[in-house]
Structures are given as C-alpha cells and as structure tokens.
Amino acid sequence: MVTLNNVGIGSIILNQIENVPASISGAPLWNIVDNERFNASNQIGVSISADIPEIYQPAIISLSSSAVVGVMELQGADASSIKLGDFTINKGGQSNTSTTAQSLREDGLTKLNNLGISFEYYKSV
C-alpha cells in the first residue's frame, strides 16, 4: 500500500496544473490538501490519516486540484491547461477556471461516493 502525505499530493497537483502562482505553492498548497483530506474524511465518515492511503488519493487529488484552481481564479491567475491523467482542458479563447474547478470537484465527489462505505449495525439486547 502506497501512502502519500500533503507534500506528495501537492507535488502531483503542481505537475497537473500549469502556472500555479508561487503564492499557492508550498505551505498554502499543503494546507489546501489537508483541508480537502479533512473534508473527504467528514463526507464519508472515515478517518483519513495525514499519510493518505492509496484508496483515497484519487478523490483527494481531484478535490484538492479543484480547490487550487478556485484559489487561482480568486487571485486572478488562469491556467493555460490542466491535466488529470489523460484528460486535458485547454483554455482556448476564454478563461475556464470556473468550469475546470467545478468539473474537478464533481470528479472528486464521484470518486468518494464510489468508494462505498460499509456500516455495521448491532441490535442491543
């Protein structure tokens, strides 16, 4: 089982998104990843450690990428292209950060929902 921490996930995000401003990389990026890990943990009701297990990484990468693109939009930056595996979005003639952030967020939430959560119920006697 391969685990990644905030720094490892942050490095993946920096490789996927071009032109990430220096104001977001480093500690701010790690905080974004940590916040998304916490949010994912709350969403599925499972504690996800700071060394993120492999099963949760795709969802947290997508959610964190979405948050980074959202922060870039707030700061006025724009990504010329964003890659997620084989999937690439090019800016074209206009800004696409809002659309990209939303599609990455939906992708991350879908990945979380696809994990499935098992609940155990016990009848008290």
State whether residue 99 is helix, strand or coil. helix
Return d(Cα 4, Cα 56) in angstroms, integer.
Answer: 10
40-59 per-position pLDDT tens digit: 988 888 888 889 988 999 99
pTM of the model: 0.75
Express as a percent the part of the chain with pLDDT over 90. Answer: 14
Q: How many CB atoms lie within 10 A of CB 72?
A: 22
